[in-house]
Amino acid sequence: MSLRLRQLISREGQSGIIGLSLRFFLLLLFPVAHADEGVMPVVARTHAVIAIIIDDLGYHPELDRRVVRLPGAVTCAFLPHTPYAPQLADLADALGKEVMLHLPMESVEYMNNPGMLNVNMDRQSFARAVRDGLASVPHASGINNHMGSLLTQSPLRMQWLMDEIKLHRGIYFVDSYTSVQSVAWQIAAANRLPSARRDVFLDNNRDPAMIRAQFERLLASAWKNGYAIAIAHPYPETVAFLEAKLPALAGSGIELVPVSRLIERRTTITAQAVDTGPEENVALIPASATH
């Protein structure tokens, strides 16, 4: 991490204020290539990957078990300290599903959750909450934030989080991107951690037609950039849609992969885009993927 970034994080810790200039600096230093922003050059492709994270698991055994048994490499994100997380995480791992810790973080509205990270914690309490959360979810390969629209705006607290993640080898981070002011992914990138940012929420609206529309948006984003990440929830409408839709991906050129593999793929695509240069890149997006 650069000296300048360390100074900015230190200043934020002293003042407790996140200035617009700080966010502007972070975006300049660590630009985010996002499907809707058109930042990254698009290479010609006949294959793309998606990852689908199902959040909020651990409280409802019957519905959560349907999620764990979904066809394909769906990634299962469990809330910490929930009654069914240990046994369902064991089942997910046995079925070849990747497991994540869905770590609660303070939101602007503030809703308290077991194991939540908040802005009033000292560093020791913060680190203990992260460690206890990981210990409560067996087989966790990564972390993403539950809520967090307030906490993910803090470079200081996000640096604390990345410092803790670095102590657990192999753990990646996904910014659920619950606030446009989030600096979580930029801080993860500055620390050279394997990381990514959510592209699409599948089911903010639980109407099946809206879930279908968001899924098509996910596919279009994957064709454009080579990869895309969706977050969904264990709603009956979502689970029924994915049970029917995921088997149909076979032969479409879109591959459902665990988040860890998508992060590897994103790194490769980014390197290829840099090598190719924007003038030689040509998008290949099937008509069925547009919306």
- Ordered by start, the domain boundaries in the chain are 41-289
> Domain 41-289 belongs to what architecture?
Alpha-Beta Barrel (3.20)
6/9 Cα distance (integer angstroms): 5
- Sign of the Cα torsion 235, 237, 238, 240 reads positive
What 3-state class would DSSP assign to 272?
helix
Q: Does residue 271 surpass a pLDDT of 80? A: no
- Sign of the Cα torsion 79, 85, 88, 89 reads positive
Tens digits of per-residue pLDDT, 63-115? 999 999 999 999 999 999 999 999 999 999 999 999 999 999 999 987 789 99
Q: What number is the average pLDDT over the span 132-157?
A: 98
The answer to whether 44 touches 212, Cβ cutoff 8 Å, is no
Phi–psi pair at 203, nearest 5 degrees: -135, 40
Q: Does residue 48 surpass a pLDDT of 90? A: yes
Q: Give the model's pLDDT for residue 45.
A: 79
E-only strand ranges, the chain: 48-57, 75-78, 99-105, 140-147, 172-175, 195-197, 200-201, 227-232, 254-256
250/240 Cα distance (integer angstroms): 18
Q: CB within 8 A of 136, min separation 6: which ones?
A: 80, 81, 82, 85, 86, 101, 115
Q: Which of 63-67, 197-201, 247-251 has the lowest mean pLDDT?
A: 247-251
pLDDT band at 35 (very low <50, low <70, confident <90, very high): very low
Q: What is the pTM of this model?
A: 0.81
